[in-house]
Structure 1
Amino acid sequence: MEPRLDYYAASPRAMKAMITLEAMTSHLSIEEPLMHLIKIRASQLNHCAFCTDMHSIDARRLGESDRRLFSISVWRSSDFFSPREKAALAWTEALTQLTGSDVSDEVYEALRAEFTEAEMVDLTMAINAISSWNRLAVSFRQKPST
C-alpha cells in the first residue's frame, strides 16, 4: 500500500505541535532505554510498523539486546524485564488499550511502587505522544523503509 499523504506537508502547524510534544517528552524524567521500550510496546499494540521499526532501531543503537526486543510482546512472562520496566509496560498497555475499560487499581499501584508522581505523569505523556504518532502513521499508511 502506498502512503495516503505526507502529513508534514499537509499541515506544518499541526506537525510543529507534535514535534514540540515529542521534544518535551524526550527530556523528561524517564530514562531513554525505558522510553524506547514503551514506545515499541505502544506501537505494537497500535499496529504501527513504522514506529515499531524506528524505535527498535533506536533501542539497539543504545545497546538494547535482541533478546529483550524480541520479548517485549511477552514481557509478562519474561525474566528479561525489571519490576520498573514491567510496571511501565503494564501502564503502557492499559493506556493504549483504554477504549472500553479503565486503568485498574492493580496496574496503578504497580506503577506507583516503581515511579515517583512526576515520573508517572512523564511516562503518561510519553505514552500519549507515541500513541499520537502511531495514529498519524497508521492512518496515513507510513511504512518503514525496506
Structure 2
Amino acid sequence: MTARVWIDKQSPEVFSAMTRVVTVVREQAARAGLDRALLELVNVRVSQINGCATCLDQHWRQAVAAGLTPQRLAVLPAWRDVDLFDGRERAALELAEAVTRTADGHLDDDAYTRARADLTDDETSMLVWAAITINSFNRISILSGHPIRERDADGRVVPREKVTR
C-alpha cells in the first residue's frame, strides 16, 4: 500500500474537534435514553458497509464490551433476516444504513415511519448523528490508510514477529 498522509495526525486540531463531536453525541445519546450497546451496533454496521477495517476492529471490541454477543455481531449484515434484533435496534440500523447509503437513494417515507415507530424524536436525532460521526471516522481511517494490528483471543496485540500465516 502506498504511504498515505494520516490526516488525523497531520491536522490534530481538526481531529480533536471531531473527537469532541463524538463525545457530545455519546453524552446526548445517553440523555436521550440510548445505551452504548445500541450506539456500537450502529458503529459496527456502518463500518461494515463502508469497509473500514480500523473502525470495525475498534468498534467490534467496544460492542462486545458493551454487551453485544459475537453471534449478533456475526449476523449483523443480515439483520433483516434474523430475529435477533429488537424493534429499537432495527430502527437504529434502518436509520444508520440510510445515512450511510445516500448514493442508493434516500430514506423513503415507509422506512422512516418504520424506524420512528420505536424511537422518540431525541433518539432519532441522536442515532442519525451517531451514524454521521462514524461515517466521518470511517472516511478518516480509510483515506489515511490506517492499519490494524492482529490481536489474540484476549484482545492483546500480537507482536509482529509472532504473527504466523
TM-score by length of 2: 0.84
**Comparing 41-50 with 61-70, which one deviates more in the overlay?**
61-70
Matches of residues 99-114 of structure 1 in structure 2 within 5 Å? 99-114=103-118
Q: Which among 62, 79, 83 is matched to residue 75 of structure 1?
A: 79
Listed one character per residue, the Cα deviations across residues 104-123 of structure 1 (whole Å, up to 9, x for unaligned) are: 11111011111111111111
**2:47–2:134 CA contact under 8 A, matched in 1:** yes
Q: Radius of gyration: which is bigger? A: 2
Q: State the structure with bigger RCO (CA 8 A, min sep 6), 1 or 2.
A: 1
Amino acid in the other structure paired with 1:104: D
- 1:121 maps to what in 2? 125
Amino acid in the other structure paired with 2:64: R
Amino acid in the other structure paired with 1:142: H
**Identity of aligned pairs, percent?**
31
Deviation at 1:71, TM superposition (A): 0.8
Deviation at 1:45, TM superposition (A): 0.6
| Unpaired stretches in structure 1, ≥5 consecutive residues | none
| Residues in 2 aligned to 1:100 and 1:136: alpha-carbon distance in whole angstroms | 22
Deviation at 1:3, TM superposition (A): 5.3
- 1:57 maps to what in 2? 61
- 1:17 maps to what in 2? 17
SS at match of 1:99: helix
Number of equivalences: 146
| Residues in 1 aligned to 2:117 and 2:37: alpha-carbon distance in whole angstroms | 20
Please report the RMSD computed on the Cα atoms of aligned residues, expressed in angstroms: 1.3
| Residues in 1 aligned to 2:125 and 2:115: alpha-carbon distance in whole angstroms | 11
What stretches of structure 1 move > 2 A for 4+ residues in a row?
A: 5-9
- 2:6 maps to what in 1? 6
Amino acid in the other structure paired with 2:7: Y
Deviation at 1:89, TM superposition (A): 0.6
TM-score by length of 1: 0.94
| Residues in 2 aligned to 1:78 and 1:69: alpha-carbon distance in whole angstroms | 12
